[in-house]
Homo-oligomer: A and B are copies of this chain.
Amino acid sequence: MSVVAIGSSYRIENVSLKSAAATVGPKEGQGPLGADFDQVFQDHSLGQTSSELAERQLLMVSQIKALEKAGLSWDDVSMSLGGDLLDQIVSTNFAAREHKRPLVGLFSACAVFSEGLGVGSLLLAGGGPNTVLVSASSHHLSAERQFRFPVELGYQRTPTAAWTATAAGSAVLMRGTGPIRVESVTLGRVIDFGTKDPNDMGTAMAPAAFDTLSRHLRDTHQSPRDYDAIYTGDLGQHGLLMLREYAKTQGLALGEELHDAGRELYHLDKQDVHNGGSGPGCSASVFCGPLFRRLERGEWHRLLLIATGALFSPTTYQQGESIPCIAHAIAIVREESR
């Protein structure tokens, strides 16, 4: 068996992460990680006539680049897994019209990239497909319009509001060995602490990140220090603080190894993004760009990605509901050179 259940997590053998590619918009390109993305588009429209078409294009370019880097064509892909934030995940679904590979459409809000890596790894280890493409995307303008207001309104943003990233990431997972491989997967449970402010999703998501992280560490008999880096998805600076504080009350000390993709995507002091980046493309692009490169270069050997998602909709918000959240974790290891 190449999959072994350990508690509510799974140990994975024989699944390698072959390649990853990230595409971003101009603002993300100007951030501190800008040099580590595969393509930075200088125009956030990507030459398209709508922000929805721009997001789709961003996604498709990341998919094609990931395949190119793996030396594969679409015909080599057994199955494509992915999702995005738009209603009916239309970026993912319409992009899939072009590649004609069997599609597993996923939704887990901004946690969908690690959901895809997790499900894809379990499927590969289980002996079904042998090559899986996992992807996720978001676009600032399409998401703001859908979830908050069209940006043309020029509304004031609160300090805890996140900036939905114009970004996409795609990764190729294959059954078999390779220098970078998947070690374990912990899928998320829905956690709702009763917060209702869609402009403070970091606080809403922190308990879900804690739930998944603590289950993961318990199941795998590890401490946070066993990882070179633990990256949550898009808690942002406020959410990251909330996670640290909450973990402390639960007896878990999180140190220098803890980072957040949304916290690092932009220069918080000068790019006017308030709490930091968010959106499915945030953790996807940060993982597929800078984090994957550090693994490739051998700077890190053990990375835990915990993308986080807020599972509300504009309708549930208007109906006065709180914000249920989820986080999915995937542990990636870079084998020591021999």
Chain A residues close to B by CB (< 8 Å): 1-5, 8, 10, 50, 52, 78-79, 83, 86-90, 93-94, 96-97, 100-109, 112, 115, 119, 122-123, 125-130, 146, 186-192, 311-316, 319, 321, 324, 326
A164 CB to nearest chain B CB (Å)? 14
Query: In the complex the two chains form, what is the Cα distance from A191 to B192 in whole Å?
Result: 37
- Tell me what chain A mostly uses at the interface: helix, strand, loop, or mixed: mixed
Copies in the complex: 2
Neighbour of A313 across the interface among B83, B87, B106, B316, CB < 8 A? B87
Which single residue of chain B is at the shortest CB-CB distance from A116?
A: B104
Neighbour of A324 across the interface among B97, B106, B115, CB < 8 A? B97
Q: Which residues of B are found within 8 Å of A89, using beta-carbon distances?
A: 107
Cβ B50 vs Cβ A319 within 8 A: yes
Q: Which residues of B are found within 8 Å of A101, using beta-carbon distances?
A: 189
Cβ B130 vs Cβ A128 within 8 A: no
Cβ B316 vs Cβ A94 within 8 A: yes
Q: Which residues of B are found within 8 Å of A128, using beta-carbon distances?
A: 3, 5, 10, 122, 125-126
20 further A-B pairs in the complex, CB-CB below 8 A; given A3-B127, A123-B126 = A3-B128, A86-B313, A87-B87, A88-B313, A89-B107, A90-B313, A90-B315, A93-B190, A94-B321, A94-B324, A97-B190, A100-B190, A102-B187, A103-B189, A104-B187, A105-B108, A105-B115, A106-B107, A125-B128, A126-B127
Query: In the complex the two chains form, what is the Cα distance from A132 to B106 in whole Å?
Result: 17
Which single residue of chain B is at the shortest CB-CB distance from A147?
A: B88
Interface-central residue, A4, A109, A189, by most chain B CB under 10 Å: A189
Question: What 10 A-B pairs have minimum CB-CB distances, sorted nearest first?
Answer: A126-B126, A93-B311, A102-B187, A88-B313, A96-B190, A87-B87, A107-B107, A3-B128, A105-B107, A97-B190
